[in-house]
Structure 1
Amino acid sequence: MHKISPSLYIALMVSFGGFVFGFDASVISGVVSFVAIEFNLTDWQQGFVVSSPTLGAVIASSVAGTISDKVGRKKVLLVIALLYVVSAVCSTFANSYEMLIVSRFLGGMAFSSLILAPVYIAEISEAKQRGKMISINQFNIVIGLSAAYFTNYFLVDLMQSESALATSINLQENIWRWMLGLEILPAMLFFIGLFFIPESPRYLVMKGEQQKAKEVLTKLHGAELMQVELNEIEKTKQAKTPNLLASFKELFSKKMRLVMLIGVTVAIFQQVTGVNAIYFYAPSIFEQSGVGTNAAFAQAVWVGLINVIFTIIAMLLIDKVGRKPLLNVGLIGIALSMILCFIGFNNATYKLTPNAVQTLEINQEQLQPIVNVEFNDDLEFKQALTDALGKQEFKKHEAKLIQSAINIEATFVLAGILGFVASFAVSLGPVMWVLLAEIFPNHLRGIAISVVGVINSAISFSIQLIFPWQLSNLGTALTFLLYGLFAVLGFVLISYLLPETKGKTLEQIEKKLVS
């Protein structure tokens, strides 16, 4: 039986944080509709429940890389894991909107693992396997996303079964707490596992601890390759920058202009194409297509499965095909997928028939003014329902009302969403983190990836926060069209800016990009 290499074992352990992130990030897709009713939330408050972790990520990402340059990658990863544990426990027992926001914010600070884990894995990996090794983190993210979709669907199905188990754990009242509470176990496993990893050898060389670096490299890659890698690292080792201001000055200097432009461009387009709107609101999006709550949660499971399959494909191809081809193919796929969603929702009509109204457990007299009235877009229909029922009652029954009234090619929407997920998973998902971990010089990698990570998180926060508002004010069709147009723009810019980095050592990439 083939023995697992030490570097792969360590990468698997560190990237388990990706699983916790994926679960934490997407479990809210099932939670938000329940807490919106329980705490009587506005569109903006719903958006903030979803996006508050990313706000925490913006703050933490701004310092995580810099702190890891000072105290080490391992110590910062341990703090990150502890934040996941605390957040999961506090979110589960939140008794108010404010407490839920604070708890989710703390968990969001742990999202800085997204920028630190790839850096650590890049620094312990051989050049020929680095893309695949870093992609393990993305693979764990999509496994976590899928696990959250599956457990959410399982809990909703169990709640509606009214079984003895559902009654015994009071699932009807506490379903969203169970959804959030399931994160506690993987968060604890991640925290414990990190005690068994070594410090990054490149960090140790940067701090002048060559002997420890030799020991780690020997353990990871053997004595012969250790000396080769140590020589490469030593060649690019520079004097320690005297202070943070000097590091920033060098980061934004002329010689770093191309590297920063590439990093920021990829980071922006990873988010403005709408990935976290799709992931974090998946059941809500499917409800908008009229499939109903149960089917919406079931289709969200497909999002997770497609994500896993195409992330595996990306891992198999990234060190063979390269980073740039995967990005280009993925962006084209995202644009076409969003156009499919646009066509589906743009051609939809809405009409409540008398028979449909009779099946709804709603005050039927209030709905009479709009019975048999056909609406040509979701904005008109939702506004008419809000006027007739009131905002709270409409939110409570929104999925059933849309399901009863909509006339849509739902397969267009399903194909568009799953096509988007497949395209993202084979490109921007794993490739961005591989690029960010390898394009920056060793001595600036921590601070550089923090800066780019902050920009990525800030865009992500904005997308998540405004998505409910977009659905209520721009409509579903226009929202998806905007994401498609951003993908086209991203394809043009990345095609022009990005060189290929596959198969090169970190030091060779530095020599090529930093002039």
Structure 2
Amino acid sequence: MHSYDNKVTKFSLIAAFGGFVFGLDAANISGAVRFVSAQFQLDALEQGLVVSCALLGVIVALFFTGSLVERFGRKSVLLGIAFAYTLSSLISSLAMNYPMLVAGRFIGGVAFASLTVSAMYIGEMAPPKTRGRFVSINQLLITLGSLVAFVVNYFLVKSMAGIEWLNESNIWRFMLGAELIVNVVWIALLVTIPESPRWLAKKRRDDDARKVLLMTLPAEQVDNTMLEIQHSIHQEGDVPVLKQLRQLFSGPMRFVLLVAVAYAVVQGGSGMNAVLFYAPTVFEQIGATVESSFMQTILLGAVAVIFTLVAIFSVEKFGRRNLTLVGLTIIVLAHCSIWYGFNNASYSIDEQSLTVIAEQGVEVESLGSLIGTTYANDVELKAVLAERFDKSELPLISGAVINASIDIDATFVLLGLFAFLAAFNMSIGPIMWVVFSEIFSNDVRSVALPFAALVQTLASFSIQQIFPWQLEVMGAASTFLNYAFVALAGLVVMGIFLPETKGKSIEEIEQDLVKAS
């Protein structure tokens, strides 16, 4: 590998390291939410807000991201984001009440804009032949961060029985505080990367831009690349943010915008954030114990990492379009499998199940009157439990009751969950950011990527906010069937409209899409 390849790899990994922090945060809150819910006595919608309020922070941040990256540069904004992550970790882990926790999570959401900025940075830094691979690093680091957090959470839960000072009232603080070390490391690494050459050229710092290109391209390609960038910038001029927004919604850009919005809605609305941010809760629905549910999340994390690597090493071979369509097809089938498994489950309370529940430390006196009853679905069972346990008890005992009473062929659910994770992480998870980094022209990219990310965030927010409520009111079967319909709609739209951008420069893609619009 040439030195410039090594440097592109290094710079891309550092820029995308915010994805690792994002993955840590997502998996940490998935483990912490049951303990937080019990301590602060949260209802289903409040649980959803603890998880999803981070995305409210994203929404706020994305309104300003375009202006900030244009004014201060991609690197400076990434540094600001890293400091915001650090502040979020401190406030969240030290939260004394529900509002303080929500505030800390909200600040962390502002930092989630790193995914957009790093995709922008990598898209402008990497050469066309490897851009898809490097932008996909974002997703790889998200999955690696999630896997690390799942492992840490599992060992924290497992250690509660042997460590006196670690208990159900403080374990979530260690989960949420684990990000601090990683945040400091990221800040130190970001200091070492250069600014985007395209941003430098836009600021008429051509000598600095050329120096960066010499680090990331063969010397013989630098002059031509510099000429392409300068020509593109000359044609576009220094476009103010408001003018960029008007241009983004203008006639020539409507086709590009349609593709981006459709992709964002499908990626955000097909259920990944329900599985990622509520992973132990999802496994609890098929009867896993607390410790077992955390162990299963490690397997989920490993699958996500493996299939993100598949995407990274195949995106330049098979292309963005093919991977997207194959992935969405598998996602539809996976969600249907999950729906089938939950739809055929039942829940029975008898003497044996009460004994098993008691062995898991749950007081069973209030369940005695339920002996001999069978419930056709999880909604009926959860409604009965909610009548007998208060909000400080219900999050901690519901898993034990489901575990002892459920009659389910878990194969369909587990197969569906792992197939979904695999398909998402080899296709629409990383490929969306690749597509976003390529399809928008230079003159609108600084506002277009945040806008597309905003749409994806709104879709993700709706999933995270209502997932606990969906489980409580609609049940697991109907919830995952809804995700199947979203993925199916996306498959149809992407099959009709998604172009192939593999191997083309950003300027070539811009010309092709203008012709198609």
With the length of structure 2 as denominator, give the TM-score of the two structures. Answer: 0.96
Matched, 1:222 2:218: yes
Matched, 1:111 2:107: no
Q: Tell me how far apart the structure 1 counterparts of residues 141 and 364 of structure 2 sit (CA, whole Å).
A: 48
Q: Which residue of 2 aligns with 1:128?
A: 129
Residue identity (%): 40
Contact 1:344/1:408, CA 8 A, preserved across alignment: yes
Q: Which residue of 2 aligns with 1:329?
A: 326
Q: Which residue of 2 aligns with 1:188?
A: 184
Partner secondary structure for residue 351 of structure 1: strand
Q: Which residue of 2 aligns with 1:475?
A: 475
Contact 2:336/2:481, CA 8 A, preserved across alignment: yes
Q: Which residue of 2 aligns with 1:62?
A: 63
Deviation (angstroms), 1:232: 1.5
Contact 1:59/1:454, CA 8 A, preserved across alignment: no
Q: Tell me how far apart the structure 1 counterparts of residues 87 and 385 of structure 2 sit (CA, whole Å).
A: 40
The amino acid that maps onto 2:232 is T
Partner secondary structure for residue 196 of structure 1: coil
Contact 2:308/2:426, CA 8 A, preserved across alignment: yes
Contact 2:37/2:391, CA 8 A, preserved across alignment: no
Matched, 1:86 2:82: no
Partner secondary structure for residue 374 of structure 1: strand
Partner secondary structure for residue 170 of structure 1: coil
The amino acid that maps onto 1:459 is A
Q: Which residue of 1 aligns with 2:293?
A: 296
Partner secondary structure for residue 443 of structure 2: helix
Deviations 1:380-415 (A, max 9, x none): 111122224445443331011111110011122111
- Could you tell which deviates more after superposition, 181-190 or 244-253? 244-253
Describe the shift of the 1:394–1:18 C-alpha distance in structure 2 as closer, same or farther (beyond 3 A): closer
Contact 1:23/1:144, CA 8 A, preserved across alignment: yes
Describe the shift of the 1:79–1:513 C-alpha distance in structure 2 as closer, same or farther (beyond 3 A): same
Partner secondary structure for residue 191 of structure 2: helix
Q: Which residue of 2 aligns with 1:417?
A: 417
The amino acid that maps onto 2:307 is F
Deviation (angstroms), 1:370: 1.6
The aligned runs of 1:256-271 (5 Å cut-off) are 256-271=253-268
The amino acid that maps onto 1:386 is A
Contact 1:51/1:465, CA 8 A, preserved across alignment: yes
Deviation (angstroms), 1:98: 0.8
Deviations 1:239-294 (A, max 9, x none): 43553322111111101111111111101100111110010101001001102111
Structure 1's consecutive aligned runs of 4 or more residues displaced over 4 angstroms after TM superposition are: 1-4
Contact 2:38/2:391, CA 8 A, preserved across alignment: no
Gaps of 5+ in 2: none
Matched, 1:212 2:213: no
Q: Tell me how far apart the structure 1 counterparts of residues 396 and 425 of structure 2 sit (CA, whole Å).
A: 33
Deviations 1:325-374 (A, max 9, x none): 10001101111111111011100010111122134244544223321111
Cα RMSD, aligned residues only: 1.5
Matched, 1:38 2:34: no
Deviation (angstroms), 1:66: 2.6
Q: Which residue of 2 aligns with 1:9?
A: 10
The amino acid that maps onto 1:223 is A
State the aligned residue count. Answer: 510
Describe the shift of the 1:172–1:471 C-alpha distance in structure 2 as closer, same or farther (beyond 3 A): closer
Matched, 1:503 2:500: no
Contact 1:205/1:213, CA 8 A, preserved across alignment: yes
- Could you tell which deviates more after superposition, 133-142 or 496-505? 133-142
The amino acid that maps onto 2:12 is A
Partner secondary structure for residue 443 of structure 1: coil
Deviation (angstroms), 1:226: 0.9
Q: Tell me how far apart the structure 1 counterparts of residues 160 and 431 of structure 2 sit (CA, whole Å).
A: 39
The amino acid that maps onto 2:340 is I
Q: Tell me how far apart the structure 2 counterparts of residues 353 and 394 of structure 1 sit (CA, whole Å).
A: 20
Contact 1:349/1:407, CA 8 A, preserved across alignment: yes
Deviation (angstroms), 1:301: 0.7
The amino acid that maps onto 1:312 is L
Q: Tell me how far apart the structure 1 counterparts of residues 174 and 307 of structure 2 sit (CA, whole Å).
A: 29
- Could you tell which deviates more after superposition, 444-453 or 386-395? 386-395
